[in-house]
Amino acid sequence: MHWKSFDYRKADEADVLKDFRSKFHIPTTKEGAQKIYLTGNSLGLQPKTVRDLLLEELDDWATLGVDGHTHARRPWMPYHELLTDHLAYIAGALPAEVVAMNTLTANLHFLMVSFYRPTKWRYKILCETKAFPSDYYALQSQARFHGYPEAVVEIPTDSNGIISETTLLGFIDEHADETALLMMGGVNYYTGQVFDMENITQFARERGIVVGWDLAHAVGNIPLKLHDWGVDFAAWCSYKYLNGGPGAVAGIFVHERHHGKVLPRFEGWWGHSKSTRFEMPHDFEPINTAEAWQLSNPPILSMTPLLASLPLFQQAGWEALRNKSRALTTLLANGLREINETYNADISILTPFENEKSGCQLSVVFHGYGRPMFDHLTLHGVVVDWRYPDVIRMAPVPLYNCFEDVFRTLEIIEKGILIHKK
């Protein structure tokens, strides 16, 4: 079906998730019209219940002061536990394997203290080429800290930044005897490529390699089964698909097989056994869960928005979320291809779309006119983002985007191409 023949009204009416859109604030233009928001891969939208939840915490702080730790309507001392079951659902983990804490790169550093254990013979860290820069910085600084400044080795990509599974597994195999850690993004931030985390994890662990995943662009985007896949550790931010707000508290996963083990770890008070924590003991006794990696008491105002956003994933269900996500991106991808063929528009979709190798995000290049097209989309109320040197990332999110959003975006792109062709 040609994209112009697609009945978006019928599709939106039949959408089993249509009511979730009304649970979010949609940014508006100066004229008050709703924008087409396709950048939930950068910052998710605000759930409408966030404001009241935050005001409740502020009121409890105002009226209770320090007693809010134990007597707030949601006591602050165990506040992070309110998020645990929801994070376990989203990560495909046991509740004991996840905890909300810190920020993403800080968490990666804390986890690598435990899980990057280089030796003279096994010291390499494998990561994907075109990883997010913060991952490079974390990996390289960890390697230098341990005295192996050349340890980080990048898995090669094709000319579009895509890594084939054959290349990836072959590279792991080639370097296995010297590799201590494989740490890469579950979904690449630049291309939107979804990696087969289950197969890659199993392949690497069979070769004695510890496996960690940066799930910044995967969590809340695609279904995860971290426990079943046998992942050693993972970390994520919560301000993208999880809609936790700018700088929201992040999260970690540590597989239960590592709980209770004697591991190197940078430790803090909040990781100490809850039963004796307030006896102020001199020696650290780790909690026998992922909570052992906590350092400090929970940041209440940073966690509160997640109370509004995380339950929505279980209410929607992964099957419905994934089905709608695929339908939205299929419409977008097919429309872009048809526009490209019709106008000889020199458009490339970097994201490998077949065989479940993409999530919400499509990374698109308008060769020779990418920045003008980005400006054109922005001018017409379509919120996407630009990644140097020439990629426009578009991410229709199933919780709050609709088929009309995608259809209107294609119309605006078509008009932009006609302007470019003049």
Could you read off the pLDDT of 199-253 as tens digits, one per residue?
Answer: 999 999 999 999 999 999 999 999 999 999 999 999 999 999 999 999 999 999 9
Q: Which residues are bridge partners to 187 per DSSP? A: 194
* Residue with the larger pLDDT of the pair 130 and 176: 176
CB 137 within 8 A of CB 145: no
The residues, ordered by sequence, that sit 6+ positions from 234 with a Cβ below 8 Å of its Cβ are: 91, 186, 212, 213, 214, 215, 226, 252, 253
- Domains of the chain, start order: 3-34+317-421 (3.90.1150.10), 53-314 (3.40.640.10)
Is residue 185 helix, strand or coil?
strand
CB 24 within 8 A of CB 400: yes
Residue 355 reports pLDDT greater than 80: no
Average pLDDT, the chain: 96
Give the C-alpha separation, 295 to 110, whole Å.
10
Is the entire prediction scored with pTM above 0.85? yes
| Mean pLDDT value across residues 300-310 | 98
The residues, ordered by sequence, that sit 6+ positions from 194 with a Cβ below 8 Å of its Cβ are: 186, 187, 218, 222, 356, 357, 358, 359
The confidence score (pLDDT) of residue 130 equals: 87
| Mean pLDDT value across residues 269-287 | 95
**pLDDT band with cut points at 50, 70 and 90 for residue 46:** very high
DSSP designation for 25: P
H helix or E strand, kind and range, residue 394? strand 391-394
Measured between its terminal Cα atoms, the distance across the chain in Å is 28
The confidence score (pLDDT) of residue 2 equals: 85
| Mean pLDDT value across residues 70-79 | 98
**pLDDT band with cut points at 50, 70 and 90 for residue 1:** low
| Mean pLDDT value across residues 314-337 | 97
Residue 422 reports pLDDT greater than 80: no
Is residue 63 helix, strand or coil?
helix
The confidence score (pLDDT) of residue 381 equals: 97
The confidence score (pLDDT) of residue 421 equals: 78
pLDDT in tens, 359-374: 999 999 999 999 999 9
| Mean pLDDT value across residues 392-406 | 98
| Mean pLDDT value across residues 309-328 | 97
